Amino acid sequence: MNQTTTSPVARGPERVAIYPGSFDPLTNGHVDIITRGAAIFDRIIVAILHNREKSSPLFTVDERMDMARIVFAHEPKVVVASFGGLLVDFARQQGAHVIVRGLRAISDFEYEFQMALMNRRLVPELETVFMMPAESYTYISSRLIREVFALGGPIAGLVPEIVETRMRSTRPPDEPRS
Ligand SMILES: Nc1ncnc2c1ncn2[C@@H]1O[C@H](COP(=O)(O)OP(=O)(O)OP(=O)(O)O)[C@@H](O)[C@H]1O
Ligand SMILES: [Mg+2]
């Protein structure tokens, strides 16, 4: 269909999705959602938020971007970027039509529902699509990974190998930290 209205969301031939988050660190739950997204969309932009609320991140945004790029080096549909400010502005800049979010449990729903409706109010043409991970990843969150790791628990199988390696090399779990 030929669109003659001046849509604020660029409509190219490509179906572009944006998957925003902190990804501190990237987990196998995130990887699952990104992989599912890549099967549906022509391009999925993993958009790492410069989060002002999180005062002491585990990894810098550059480190997070680097690991995500390594994990998806074989998948040309996956693009890794970072952004600050409003997601809808960044989505528009990138020509994305869809926001992808993961839903793990009912507990995610309320916040996600609010965000989706607010984003729709800001840019009605930008749809939010929710995706479910494989059952075995439904309990994984970055926060839980950080906590388990800090207490010396095993995180193998919950995060990509490169993430585990870098977590161990930056902060050995058995070292006391302030
Ligand atoms: N295991 C998972 N399965 C499916 N979706 C997930 C999973 N973990 C995170 N997500 C989704 O990924 C998106 C980005 O989330 P985010 O970066 O906040 O990860 P997080 O694991 O929730 O991190 P944190 O614990 O620091 O909040 C959100 O839509 C979130 O619901
Ligand atoms: Mg979260």
The tens digit of pLDDT for each residue in 9-58 reads 655 689 999 999 999 999 999 999 999 999 999 999 999 999 766 678 99
* Mean pLDDT, residues 82-104: 97
pLDDT score of 56: 83
106 pLDDT band, cuts 50/70/90, is: confident
Instruction: Considering the candidates 30, 64, 77, 97, report the single residue annotated as catalytic.
Output: 30
Strand order, beta sheet including 127-131: 78-83, 43-49, 16-21, 98-102, 127-131
114 near 145, Cβ under 8 Å? Answer: no
Residues paired with residue 82 on neighbouring β-strands, in sequence order: 48
pLDDT at 173: 56
Q: How far is the CA of 103 from the centre of ligand 1 (A)?
A: 8
Q: At what angle do helices 87-94 and 106-122 cross, to 10 degrees?
A: 70
pLDDT in tens, 140-167: 999 999 999 999 999 999 999 999 999 9
Residue 111 confidence (pLDDT) above 70: yes
- Supply the DSSP string of the chain, one letter for each residue: ----S--SS---SS-EEEEEE--TT--HHHHHHHHHHHHHSSEEEEEEE--SS-SS-SS-HHHHHHHHHHHTTT-TTEEEEEE-S-HHHHHHHHT--EEEEE--SHHHHHHHHHHHHHHHHH-TT-EEEEEPPPGGGTT--HHHHHHHHHTT---BTTB-HHHHHHHHHHS-TTS---
Q: Around Cβ 160, how many Cβ atoms within 10 Å? A: 19
Q: What is the pLDDT of residue 60?
A: 95
Please say if the pLDDT value at position 67 is more than 60. Answer: yes
The answer on pLDDT for 129 being more than 80 is: yes
pLDDT for position 170: 81
Atom 3 of ligand 1, nearest CA residue: 29
pTM of the model: 0.90
Q: Find the 5 Cα to ligand 1 centroid distance in Å.
A: 35
Answer yes or no: is the C-beta of 141 below 6 A from any ligand 1 atom: yes
